[in-house]
Amino acid sequence: MSEDLLSRRKVLKGLSMGLAADVVLRSIPLEAAAYAHEVIDTEKSTQATGYLPKFFTGNQWNLLKALCEAILPADADCGGAVVAGAPEFIDLLTSENPEWQRKLGGGLLWLDGICKDRFDNSFTDCTAAQQKEILDLIAFRKNAEIDPILVPGVAFFALLRNLTADGFFTSKIGIAYLGYQGNEFLLEFPGCPPVPGL
């Protein structure tokens, strides 16, 4: 294994292992998230097949992309989570974090299972109305208090929602959407502008 791949792997493993499941971006330095996006962009541009999932299987990968799109869809102002590379971001970090592998992999299985129980279809084969019905159930913690069957789904969706937002808002598209200009070096501090009318 090359030294570059080894160091990259160590960085990603350290990044993903140091995160608490419920506190995502607050624990990831922006530079580390930018590095993860750089790794993904490099793989997309250098491989003919583009990005190949590191953890999620084909069906799980398609489900993950559908969920990311449902969480942050594209709109007239900007591309959504899928265009920003949030699924790749989640997959790359999850590939190095056994706890997330269990929570996200198990959550995807749970989601497909409950869809099959209720609608006789996997999530991706459900109608848009059926998908919305399930997502509305697991999007709110109060629903898990009413129906204990939803507890794993609510926990899974909370983690996925945080990771999707982190993947989006640390991407080039997400940073541009926020209008972040970066830190600016000032030679002097000009102070506050004068108050009008005084």
Give pLDDT tens digits for 10-67: 555 555 544 433 344 544 667 778 888 898 999 888 888 889 999 999 899 999 999 9
Task: Name the residue range of residue 174's domain.
Answer: 3-178
Give domain status of residue 194, yes or no.
Answer: no
- pLDDT for the residue numbered 6: 41
Task: Count the domains in the chain.
Answer: 1
- pLDDT for the residue numbered 76: 86
User: Can you say whether residue 11 is alpha, beta or left, with left for phi > 0 and alpha for psi between -120 and 50 degrees?
Assistant: alpha
- pLDDT for the residue numbered 25: 52
Give domain status of residue 79, yes or no.
Answer: yes
Give domain status of residue 107, yes or no.
Answer: yes
- pLDDT for the residue numbered 45: 87
What averages of pLDDT result for each successive group of 10 residues across the chain (198 residues)? 47 49 51 85 87 93 96 90 95 91 96 96 95 95 93 95 92 85 72 81
- pLDDT for the residue numbered 185: 67
- pLDDT for the residue numbered 188: 79
Give domain status of residue 111, yes or no.
Answer: yes
Give domain status of residue 188, yes or no.
Answer: no
First to last CA, the chain: 68
Give domain status of residue 197, yes or no.
Answer: no
Give domain status of residue 192, yes or no.
Answer: no
3-state percent breakdown (helix, strand, coil) of the chain, nearest 5: 65, 0, 35
